[in-house]
Structure 1
Amino acid sequence: MMGLQTAAQAMVAATARLRAAGVDDPARDARLLLAHAARIEASRVTLIAPEELQPEIAERYDQLVSLRAIRVPVSHLLGEREFYGRRFRVSSDVLDPRPETETLIEAALSEPFDHVLDLGVGSGCILVTLLAERTSASGLGVDLSEAACLQASANAVLHKVQGRAEIAQSNWFEDIEGQFDLIVSNPPYICVSEMEDLSPEVREHEPRMALTDEGDGLGAYRQIAASAPDYLLPGGRILVEIGPTQANLVSALFDAAGLADIRVIPDLDGRDRVVGAKMPG
């Protein structure tokens, strides 16, 4: 019978398996999954490297690496993802929070707001972050997916903003009443013909309705632009995340809807990422 592997040996073997499976950053993923299997912080993996892995940890690690090798996202295996300095619970029911969405957060926080509406709330990462950062504000997050609403509610509780966050099921503005001084959204913006080009992690493990409108990628923006003026207070703002080629098209939709002060905000990589506008008044 083989002796027990050390943590370091197990990580080397896992890295090789993940590399062979075409995983982007196999060493990083092998490390994160070992930390999860051993139930320690990732920063402490180096400390256990020379130690032999106990059989139950080794078995748990092997299962995690096997799932990662078939391209299940690390965040789903860990059950969480970091966003704007906080950890959010995630699953295959919601879009993974992405660092580029922090561009929308920065833009939202650059001016005051009291009452925010998040269309397509998903994991809740946008709404919950905005309420956690702006403790005087309240907000409503809506999503067509019941599972996403449950996930967003759990994250609101996790970050102690549940008293100021209402989560409801709605198809865009369908079941929404009232007016807001800030509307935010990260809608599905991938053109259906581009879905095949996505990584297996995204294409096979994230909710399709959060990725594409099954059309040209602008369907959500058409609905949002058409209805937003009815739900924005005078001087209220709207901020939407976009795909990097959609700035002009989304700006034109906002302009046609009578919104003013339209601007395009790039992400840290210099790609167009957010379109913002204001309700005249």
Structure 2
Amino acid sequence: MTTLGPLLRHVRTSLEQAGKPEAALDARVLVEHFTGTSRTDAITDPQRPVSEEHAEAVLAALARRICGEPVHRIIGAREFYGMRLTLSPGTLEPRPDTEALVDLILPFVRAAADRHGTCHILDLGTGTGAIALALLSQEPRAQAVGADISDDALATAAINADMTGNTGRFQAVRSHWYSEIEGRFHIIVSNPPYITSKDVLSLEREVRDHDPLAALDGGPDGLAAYRVIAAGAAQYLEESGIAAVEIGHDQSDAVSGIFAAAGFRSAGRAQDLGGVVRALAFSR
């Protein structure tokens, strides 16, 4: 009979032997997910029986992780800004660095809601809906349109809107950037693809093989999406509106220049957990 403690140790040891850098964390996430247990269970009841079905599911997940599939892809979900979001093949896996963009734009969302009684947000390339839904979760007066070219991403974003209780305030729209967008917004926000085409091939296997290419490849210089977003922002922003984007670690000056050329000035910036400028905001 399999029990919880030995199963957890087996998974952790196997991942360590496979050279996975976060073996202990990955083991805990996989075992807890597929056995329906918690960290407390592993500490206080390590001899808790694990059914054969659950043990087999854990071992199958272990094999996938050893082969390079990210742990959150395996469990099909990831935490972001206090929300648990469903993932799918058509969505980028939300990462902690993107929370800097939410932190940067949230005061503008609240200020718009104070002035107008609501805040209309456009999230370009919404993916899982992470950014828009994080903002909606923090400001109940806000509403958001999540635009994406991927039908899979839009379906996933709609699921996440329902799971986070935001169905009535979130609309998923199939659009290539602004192509199918109507109306004006107080906030335009985006985490666009910003990796240069040549650098995509050198990304870690977990990212290159499992995140959608369209959400990674920003063109020859990594800036293609910013030019599109900046060029169209004035047409879709309210007069006092704000545009905000996530950027690569070395793109602050280049992206600022693109928005300046489109008639925008800096309205703020935010750093990621490593102290690197990761998000920029602009006003007209």
TM range (shorter): over 0.9
Q: Which residue number corresponds to residue 237 of structure 2?
A: 232
CA contact (8 A) 2:147 2:174 kept: yes
Q: Name the structure 2 match of 1:170.
A: 175
Q: Structure 1: how far apart are the matches of 2:14 and 2:204?
A: 18
Show the 5 A alignment for 1:136-147: 136-147=141-152
Cα pair 2:104 2:268 within 8 Å, conserved? no
Name 1:247's counterpart in structure 2. Answer: 252
Q: 2:77 corresponds to which residue? A: 80
In structure 1, what residue type is equivalent to 2:70? P
How far does the alpha carbon of each residue in 1:39-93 deviate from its partner, in whole angstroms, 9 at most, with x for none?
Answer: 1234433234223433222211110101111111111222211111111111222
Q: What SS does the corresponding residue of 2:68 show, helix, strand or coil?
A: coil
Q: Percent identity?
A: 37
Q: Deviation at 1:26?
A: 0.6
2:205 match: 200
Which residue of the partner structure matches residue 186 of structure 1?
Answer: 191
Q: Is the 8 A contact 1:84 1:102 kept in 2?
A: yes
Question: Any unmatched runs of 5+ in structure 1?
Answer: none
1:100 aligns to 2:100 (yes or no):
no
CA RMSD of aligned residues (A): 1.4
Q: 2:166 pairs with 161, 175, 199, which one?
A: 161
Q: In structure 2, how many angstroms separate the alpha carbons of the residues matched to 1:162 and 1:209?
A: 26
Quote the residue 2:61 is aligned against.
64
Query: Are 1:27 and 2:32 matched, yes or no?
Result: no
- Distance in 2 (CA, whole Å) between partners of 1:45 and 1:202 is 30
In the other structure, the counterpart of 2:42 is 45
1:17 maps to which residue? 14
Question: After superposition, what is the alpha-carbon deviation per residue over 1:123-162, rounded to whole angstroms, capped at 9, x for unaligned?
Answer: 0011111112111111111001010000001111111111
Q: C-alpha distance in 2, partners of 1:41/1:216? A: 45
Q: Which amino acid aligns with 2:51?
A: Q
1:262 positional shift: 4.5
Choose 172-181 or 44-53, whichever is displaced more.
44-53
Query: Aligned partners of 1:134 and 1:43: how far apart in 2?
Result: 33
Contact 2:127 2:153 in 1 (8 A): yes
Q: Distance in 2 between matches of 1:238 and 1:43?
A: 43
For residues 200 and 126 of structure 2, what CA distance do their matches in structure 1 show? 22
Q: CA deviation at 1:261?
A: 3.1
TM-score (norm 1): 0.94
Match of 1:256 in 2: 261
Q: Distance in 2 between matches of 1:22 and 1:212?
A: 28
Paired residue for 1:117? 122
Q: Distance in 2 between matches of 1:36 and 1:268?
A: 27
- TM-score of the pair, normalised by structure 2: 0.93
5+ residue gaps, structure 2: 113-118
Q: SS at 2:281's partner residue?
A: strand
Q: Separation in 2 of the partners of 1:49 and 1:165?
A: 43
C-alpha distance in 2, partners of 1:80/1:242? Answer: 24
Partner of 1:135: 140
| Corresponding residue pairs, total | 276
| CA distance in 2 between partners of 1:192 and 1:21 (Å) | 30
Is residue 268 of structure 1 aligned with residue 273 of structure 2?
yes
Equivalent residues of 1:254, 1:262 under 8 A apart = no
Q: Per-residue deviation at 1:37? A: 1.8
Deviation digits for residues 172-199 of structure 1, max 9, x if unmatched? 0111111111000000011112123322
For 2:177 and 2:275, how far apart are their aligned partners in 1? 29
Amino acid in the other structure paired with 1:49: P
Q: Residue 79 of structure 1 contacts residue 89 of structure 1 at CA under 8 Å; is this kept in 2?
A: yes
- From the superposition, tell whether residues 45 and 77 of structure 1 become closer, same or farther in structure 2 (CA, over 3 Å): farther
Cα distance in 2 for residues equivalent to 1:59 and 1:267: 38
Is the contact made by 1:80 and 1:90 (CA closer than 8 Å) also made in structure 2? yes
Q: Could you tell me how far 1:220 is from its partner in structure 2? A: 0.3
Q: Which deviates more from structure 2 when the two are superposed, residues 37-46 or residues 147-156?
A: 37-46
